[in-house]
Chains A and B, each alone.
Chain A
Amino acid sequence: MKNQRSLFSVLTTLLLVLQINVAVAHAVVTEYSLKLKPIHAQHADHIEISFNSKIELGLSQIYLVSKGDKHELLTAEMGSKQGQIIISVPALEAGEYAIRFKVFAADGHLTEDVIHFTVS
């Protein structure tokens, strides 16, 4: 009986470490400026992203991803609208890029997501 109990404990502990996945998400992007205002080559610019939830910017990271999945940390500040952040983007060559962000929402959930865009 004692052995069975210890075996059960081992099994439940093992189950606890199964099926681990990446971050869950509650904060999602509701709109972003790239849809209306594309980025042009060789011009530093800003990208506005709005979330459905309050964001803790101090606990968030935003990266520019370029060809070969090279990551570059970008700076961002809170926008004038609720849940909006404004990201500063350096002057870029024409090509395919992505904004990859890890944001901490006010409800305590960490979210990772990617927005693809083209610089022409």
Chain B
Amino acid sequence: MAGIADFLDSLIGGFDLICYSLLMGGLFWGLFVLRPWQHDKAYNSHLLDKTIALIYKGGFLLAAAQIFKIILKVWLMTAVLERWPFPEFASTTQFIGGIIRAVLTLLVTAYVYFVLRKHTFSKQHWWIAFAVSIPMVISGAWLVHAAGRFDNRAFLMTFTVFHQLGAAAWVGGVLQLGNVWKLHKQQLISSNNWPQLLKAFSTFGVISVGFILVSGLPIALQYIDTLNALVGTGYGNLLMVKVVLLGLALGFAWLNRSAMLEFFANRQNVAVFKKVPHYVEAETLVLITLLFTAASLASQPPAIDIPLLTASWQEVANTFHPQIPQISSPSHVALIAGEAGRVAIINQVPSLAATEWSNYNHNIAGIFLTVMSFFAMLSYTTKLPFTKYWPLGFVGLGIFLFFRSDAETWPLGPIGFWESTFNNGEVLQHRIATLLVFVLGLFELTARITKNPTSKLPYFFPILSAFGGLMLLTHSHVGFQAKSAFLIQVGHTSMGIFALILSCGRWLELKLDKPGKDIAGFISVAALFVIGIILMFYREPLY
């Protein structure tokens, strides 16, 4: 149960940031982009009501997330420490700060819900809502990991809050843009609102990104002291992931801005209505992943604190070094024989069989994905009809994982299927994962061959692969062997980025018209190919 609590704890951080973006980003949107008091004739009640609804819904969810975080901590501590954590927990900064922040969040949300909602065009009420939110924003400083630092604590806490505000302004604005497009599609607002708000947000978005960079750089320089620390630690690695995701999001932002500028230059550009909304959707996927990565980063020890556990760049590069995939597995007997020594604390003996067993699993999974993506790429460039059946590979992969995931259980090991599935949480998760891969294959295959143009089935794949990418990015962790764990993490975070590209590509393929559709689709399966290659060359450190 500790594992589930820990996992939810790592997810709730990202969810918290999304809600924070809805609330604070929504207020920024109202104050600096929408500015309703200047456009009372251009905006109608649908636009204002929905805008404010997003803000207070974000606020209520943020308060709930804050409370849930505390519950999770209690759950986690009870499970790990094997005792009830009160009364000690009640006097911690996390408990007191968490309760205060939840109350302050409810306060600002209540103002938005009960007052601002009834004075949507009032400049004064928008600014009061912002003023009421300031204590909540400040209270968040005691809940970030800078609060536990000894050096430059106030500086790090302050800049982290600024960094969060910059991110909230951008992400919250993008979420509001999605809301505007939804209203536009439903013909509930004037057709001019969409391009005009796109234009207004474009400038505001640039300022937000500038704010993110200006506040983020000093924090990064405090936590990462060498170039090697950037490359060779979990903290540095996740920071680089954030930079890559920021680049991806900026790419979509640039496409949006270009289309918008062209629209206002000649008023004939249809991309603003045909492409930009879907770029905004893809940008949203990237930004949400970015927020979860940011939350995950907060659970990593800063690189500056672990100089002796930092991997060299050569060790990191070796993780991606092309090599012949391992296509023979150690025997099941050898694997089981080495397990007791591997998991021991005293007189631990690294198990070569366990490492090779894992390498084999990863490498074979890589071969599956590489072959699948090869046929998928062929399906875009040739007329060979059988290539569209490439998702069948997921079915094969699911069967492979079923046999290999848990060596100690049925069908390879002595523990029975039902006994292992319901008595061991980890085995249960593997069984579910196996089933999921299997089912995903069937879904995507059906989606690719269906003749029904309104089927929603094709959307399962991009949504679930985005979620898979998010899992790979957020579940970096430091166990007993930080360096080995990092060397495993670095390959998985790379795959996480490509899973996100896979997801965005497939999403845009489903949404755009030709030729953008085909380009996005090809990029998507090319990303699958890269994931396959990373898995095919995967080598686990011996531990």
- Residues of A bordering B, CB below 8 Å: 1, 4, 8, 11-12, 14-28, 30, 52-54, 56, 58-59, 61, 65-69, 82-83, 96-98, 100, 102, 104-114, 116
Contact = CB atoms under 8 A, between A and B. Distances in A.
Interface string B48-90: 0000000000000000000001000100110011000100110
Nearest to A113: B480
Given A110-B6, A113-B480, 18 more contacts: A1-B456, A11-B436, A11-B460, A15-B464, A16-B7, A17-B7, A21-B479, A24-B9, A26-B298, A28-B309, A52-B150, A52-B302, A53-B150, A67-B347, A68-B346, A104-B77, A106-B94, A110-B80
20 contacts: A11-B436, A11-B464, A14-B432, A14-B435, A19-B433, A24-B299, A25-B482, A26-B148, A26-B300, A27-B148, A52-B150, A52-B301, A58-B88, A61-B81, A102-B80, A102-B81, A104-B92, A107-B147, A107-B298, A110-B6
B351 interface: no
B460 A8 contact: yes
B315 interface: no
B345 A100 contact: yes
A26 B80 contact: no
Q: Which 7 A-B pairs have the closest CB atoms?
A: A58-B88, A20-B3, A106-B148, A107-B148, A53-B148, A107-B145, A24-B299
Given A58-B88, A68-B346, A18 B299 contact: no
A20 B4 contact: yes
A18 B346 contact: no
A27 B150 CA distance: 12
Interface stretch (B198-206, B413-421, B470-478, B520-528): B470-478
Nearest to B430: A18
Contacts of A110: 6, 76-77, 80
Contacts of B9: 24
A25 B80 CA distance: 13
B148 A59 contact: no
Nearest to B439: A11
A107 to B, nearest CB: 4
Contacts of B76: 23, 110
Nearest to B145: A107
A23 B477 contact: yes
A29 to B, nearest CB: 9
A116 B467 CA distance: 38
Nearest to A57: B88
A2 to B, nearest CB: 11
Interface string B84-128: 010011001110000000000000000000000000000000000
B10 interface: yes
Nearest to A13: B432
Interface of B: 2-4, 6-11, 69, 73, 76-77, 80-81, 85, 88-89, 92-94, 143-150, 298-302, 305-306, 309, 344-347, 425-426, 429, 432-433, 435-436, 439, 456-457, 460, 463-464, 467-468, 471, 475, 477-480, 482
Nearest to B471: A19
A49 to B, nearest CB: 14
Contact of A22 (B347, B464, B477): B477
B477 A21 contact: yes
A67 B8 CA distance: 35
Nearest to A21: B477
Contacts of B73: 108
A58 B299 CA distance: 21
A69 B148 contact: no
Contacts of B436: 11, 14-15, 18
B346 A97 contact: yes
B393 to A, nearest CB: 19
Contact of A18 (B77, B302, B429): B429
B77 A22 contact: no
Given A19-B7, A24-B477, A52-B305, A109 B77 contact: no
A8 B462 CA distance: 12
B394 to A, nearest CB: 14
B92 A59 contact: yes
Contact of B93 (A11, A106, A113): A106
Given A4-B456, A17-B432, A98-B345, A27 B464 contact: no
B249 to A, nearest CB: 23
A4 B457 contact: yes
Given A68-B346, A102-B80, A20 B425 contact: yes
Contacts of A27: 148, 301
B479 A22 contact: yes
B378 to A, nearest CB: 28
Nearest to A4: B456
Contacts of A53: 145, 148-150
A38 B6 CA distance: 35
Contacts of B7: 16-17, 19-21
Contacts of A24: 6, 9-10, 299-300, 477-478
A83 B150 contact: yes
B6 A25 contact: no
A56 B346 contact: no
